[in-house]
A and B are shown apart, each in its own frame.
Chain A
Amino acid sequence: MTSLDLTRRRFLINTGWTAVGITALSACSSIMPVLPTQNEPELGDGYAWVQLLPGGQARFFAPRMEMGQGASIGLTQVVAEEMNLAASSVACIAPATSQVPAFKMTAGSEGIDEFFGPVSHAAANLREHLRRLAALKFNINSAGIADETGGFRVKGGKFVSYGELAPVDGKIISVSENEGEDQPRRYALERRGRHKSIGSTEPDPNLAHMVTGKAQFSRDASLPGMAFGGSLMPPVSGAELKNADAAAAGSMPGVIKVVIEPSHNLAGIVAKTPHQMRAALGAIKPEWHLPENITDNPGDRIRDFWSQIPRDFEHDLISDGDVDDLSETSITGSGQFETSFQSHAAMEPRAGLAWVRDEKVEVWCGTQAPFFIQRRIAQILGRDEDDVILHPMRMGGGFGGRVLCQPAETAALLSRAAKRPVKVQWTREDEFRGNYFQPPYFHKIDAAVFEDGSISRWRHDFASAPIFFGIDAIPKIARPILDRLADEGTARGATPPYRAANKLVRYSDIRLPVSTGAWRGLGAAPNSFAIESIMDQLARNAGIDPIQFRIKNLETQHIRLAQVMRKAGDMAGWGRRMPTGSGLGMAAAVYKEKTYVAVVAEVTINHSGKTIEVPRVWCAQDCGLIVNPGFVEQQIIGNVVWGVGLALTEEVLFSGGAAETDNFDGYEIVRQENAPYVKTALIEPEGAPPVGAGEPAIAPTPAAIANAIFAASAKRVRKLPVRYDALFGNT
């Protein structure tokens, strides 16, 4: 890897590219597109997010988009902690793009990890600013002003509320970066063990609205005079609209506007009602230019690469020692592993409402990357970025799948043409066919163990598709450059947390004819499936308990993983005798080199019902300081449930290059009847900073299930999802 010169580095920072971990780049930077990823927030960024309103209420513009993960709630607790307020006294607002400077997209379980610092810094500075105002008001030294809930206690015991310190002219109080202290006392950091708001399970402030149907998602947004829009989905990814005959559609009932714009790949209808819109859409006769060489399965390019021997891998992730040295090793473990295409399948099919006017463009949609969508819509409409205001809506699930909000872009084009507000609502089929997928993975691991139980050789080859750079929003012109980069999303979790005397990890990220992108945990679960299956195999071949074997081989910097493994094992009763046909399996992972997580899964093979069941899962996680234990627990359970689906049922099948699996009748996510009982434990080491909780537990879950299947049946799982018939035959 080469180091970057400063000019190049500054360019990458400005476009957000450093944040995706690029360390080497070709010379053609001038054509690089703007990426959704922004840069990691800096300490001073928080000043724009924390304010005191004239009445004395704190307002927090949450720089994280809410989709149920609770990051905005956790950060509200951080504000509350610093300002000596109850979390319920801090108004948490999802800011429009016009209200705050651009911030990094909401992804990668970074909400608490990266934003805890800037938010606590700004809130602490606002508190100290208010303390100085109190000192001025009473003409005393600020050192003599003590904290009190919602204000201060000044000498003589008199209480002064924040509201009394607010200016009489009704101005909002905020601290600018120039005014702030570099190192204010930060209670969020200092008061560990004595926190008032941090560490408590504050509820979502929208809870009452969510149980009464009043919570507003993108699909629920409306405006007076709003019409309903829709557009034809290309028959396959990459199909380009040449022309369309819309003569019949234009005269159908309720149709307000027919919009045919091949330059935007758009054949759309604006109508008074959704059913009139759909009827007219069905009457358009499109002419598509199809990409060449369409194969049934868009994953064939990876399979073709994989079938070549020897394989010429693009990227060396780790190359340390000599994996071809086969001396002194007799205990080995090797195997090939495969995972499939998956879809996010969030419960809300996405929607967008747009109102394009001469003076400004307003968009309402739920997205993980509001500033990216703002810029994209400005670009599509040929408008200044400042003309476009995006109002972010609560997402009905995100999971990495809402970096784009395609219907909002369609709505913007249709609104411009129809000169009125237009809402576009994707169907479930659109959601499956129109978004990017988690790509399939092919792995081969060949490993060996010395007589003393330490790993001597670790050789891991894998191939998949790009995840950071695989979405079709990246312009074609930029793809050849990006295709030379090692996609770190694809490789997430591919660095094992274990020592080996000789290590080689190589991979290829092969662009597919369909869009591939971030899905919960990115590469972590598929990579962990292969790594942790082999760890289980090695432990058994070496005759060492799988937990002890992992602990023995842990990299020293990952020693925290030992504690979560022991804890998960203790909770599960690891080592106990299981009934015939049942087994316990364990797997562990370090997510993004920060969060430590171990899972024990119980599997029962039900031969009469021909099913593989996962009745119970135990998960221990160490994500440092816990801001909101309830939400962390919910995230763990959600990831475990998701991991069960990945292991046993979830797979998108294709036909003619398009997703054939396009609804919940074919795409089986976990249901109530097969949702395991999940027991969690949180480990919070002294002084460990808060890190991510939104994805880590998905990483080891499928591997733990696969290892439990082995414990129950002596069958090693090679391909996910694994169905009963694949392992035990159809008889």
Chain B
Amino acid sequence: MAANFKLNGKVFAIPPDLKDVTLVEYLRDHLGQTGTKFGCGIGSCGACTVHIDGQAERSCQTVLADIAGAQITTIEGLSFGGKLHPVQEAWITEQVPQCGYCQPGQIMTAAALQNENPNPNDQDIRDAMNGNLCRCGTYQKIRNAVRLAAGGQIK
């Protein structure tokens, strides 16, 4: 029996010949879901972050065999019912992105943090977001947006 996974609520079968393909490559180059970004391929930059069963994970370090039975949420599936996730709203209010390439990964990490810790302090934010690199240097705005999404004050 072919193994399945759920992507943003829809069921997909794992093609037996693609079990060793990384999730980021499958999403982008097979399914055309390009919101998840490839950054480094070694789990060092966080650009490819998705949620696997609610946890922020590196899709470049995950192969399809690993996700049998799992629920995957990507940036395309983060908003629900036509309404943006509060983290996405905060990203817009704060005008976080510069080039924007790392931001889907940043947002997925921030959304997972919000689930785990609805009221993060500055150190919590820095710790949780430390695996997501941004070469444009939007870190300060990211911290502000995470605080804003949690109903906190902007520094």
Contacts and interface: CB of A to CB of B under 8 A. Distances in A.
Nearest to B143: A672
A399 B135 contact: yes
A664 B25 contact: no
Contact of B98 (A211, A217, A638, A671): A638
B133 interface: yes
Given A211-B84, A212-B35, A634-B138, A204 B101 contact: no
Given A213-B76, A220-B34, A671 B103 contact: no
Contacts of A163: none
A641 interface: yes
Contacts of B34: 213, 216, 219-220
Interface stretch (A238-246, A390-398, A409-417): A390-398
Main secondary structure, interface of A, reads loop
B29 to A, nearest CB: 5
Interface string A664-690: 110001111101011000000000000
A367 to B, nearest CB: 14
Contact of B41 (A273, A428, A641): A428
A344 B132 CA distance: 17
B137 A670 contact: yes
A664 B35 CA distance: 21
Closest 8 CB pairs of A and B: A213-B35, A396-B101, A641-B137, A68-B98, A68-B99, A213-B75, A675-B139, A210-B100
Size category of the B interface is 35 or more
B132 A664 contact: no
A349 B137 contact: no
B140 A675 contact: yes
Interface string B103-122: 11001000000000000000
Interface in A327-363: 344-349
B75 to A, nearest CB: 4
6 contacts: A425-B38, A634-B98, A640-B137, A641-B137, A642-B135, A665-B42
A670 B135 CA distance: 8
Interface in A422-446: 425, 427-428
A274 interface: yes
Interface of A: 67-70, 201, 203-204, 206-208, 210-217, 219-220, 222, 228, 273-275, 344-349, 394-399, 425, 427-428, 630, 634, 637-642, 663-665, 669-673, 675, 677-678
Nearest to B35: A213
Interface in B72-98: 74-76, 78-79, 84, 88, 91-92, 95-98
A207 B99 contact: no
B39 interface: yes
A219 B125 CA distance: 29
B98 A214 contact: no
Contacts of A273: 21, 29-30
Given A204-B97, A346-B99, A670 B35 contact: no
Nearest to A217: B101
A216 to B, nearest CB: 8
Contacts of A641: 137, 139
B29 A346 contact: no
B130 A673 contact: yes
A217 B99 CA distance: 10
B40 to A, nearest CB: 4
Interface in B6-53: 20-21, 25, 28-30, 32, 34-42, 44-45, 47
Contacts of B91: 211
B137 A397 contact: no
B101 A348 contact: yes
Nearest to A426: B38
Contacts of B40: 428, 663-664
Given A68-B100, A273-B29, A347-B133, A630 B95 contact: yes
A213 B32 contact: no
Contacts of B56: none
A274 B140 contact: no
Given A204-B95, A347-B45, A642 B21 contact: no
Nearest to A277: B29
A169 to B, nearest CB: 39
A476 B76 CA distance: 47
A700 B38 CA distance: 33
Contacts of B148: none
Nearest to A216: B34
A219 B84 CA distance: 25
